[in-house]
Chain A
């Protein structure tokens, strides 16, 4: 059987396209896996001290993000973070948040999101123990920065306003107490675990895997299409 150069060229092209389609199928398979991982509920690690999982002046490590932390210090500055997006279950809302700079021993500081902005600033004197969840700094503005407000919750925005060495990220407080153990009340906001936003549905991606792999198979058949066609007509009715 003689194989022509044209047929070999067709076969090579079909093979290359087929490999590309298999790669696209694998990509969808990886995305399905990512969706599955992203939607898994991860149990919270035990509460730990902020100093044990992060260092002032350094970027947060991925392991530190989402951790429940405890920190003690004195509030120094009050900021407003307007128009912050809040998510509670499937509901989304916008709120102005009260953010305070907590001074820690050793001339360090961390941003604490206490909750929804109140009508008046609550006066909190003395040492405070804060429990909450550690989040990475926000990277996109929620609003325009005016009158010293925080356009996003990011320690980099207040570096010029304090001499403290700041921890990266911020803590959303779930509870605060004085050094005597008295709880400080305010309107808290939810502090859910951050989930990576991988769009799509697991089975939807799996279905695309089948589509791409089927296409890869059909492309591989393409060089043999004419012979299949001849066999089809040869066995049955001829035109």
Chain B
């Protein structure tokens, strides 16, 4: 692993936590939107009870993503608008993956 510069070192902990939660929230959002919701309202309605855990787990862990995103944005000194967008990215499939990639890119560009 390459040596971190002082700014990267200061941000590293929050960054790692945000990355883990962003990937996790992205996977949960995908499950929620493309497994839980369709089985509830569109297809295989009788099998919906097998997937109720998805909404439950997503509901309880999304606040952890929100806190991780807020802490990362504060440490990275992002604008309020960016912070709001980073927090909301956890609610949409793919969006949190995009946020994670963007954060990594910005992190690498820090000097």
Contacts and interface: CB of A to CB of B under 8 A. Distances in A.
Contact of A237 (B10, B46, B59): B10
Given A207-B56, A214-B66, A226 B80 contact: yes
B83 interface: yes
Interface in A183-223: 201, 203-204, 207-208, 210-211, 214-215, 218, 222
A201 B74 contact: no
A203 B62 CA distance: 14
Interface in B2-16: 6-7, 10
Main secondary structure of the interface of A (DSSP, over half): helix
B80 A225 contact: yes
A207 B62 CA distance: 9
Interface residues of B, number: 21
Contact residues on A (Cβ < 8 Å of other chain), bracket: 20 to 34
A236 B63 contact: no
A62 interface: no
B52 A210 contact: no
A228 B83 CA distance: 13
A77 interface: no
A90 B55 contact: no
B87 interface: yes
B105 interface: no
Interface string B72-111: 0011010010010001000000000000000000000000
Contacts of A211: 59, 62-63, 66
Interface of B: 6-7, 10, 46, 52, 55-56, 58-60, 62-63, 66-67, 70, 74-75, 77, 80, 83, 87
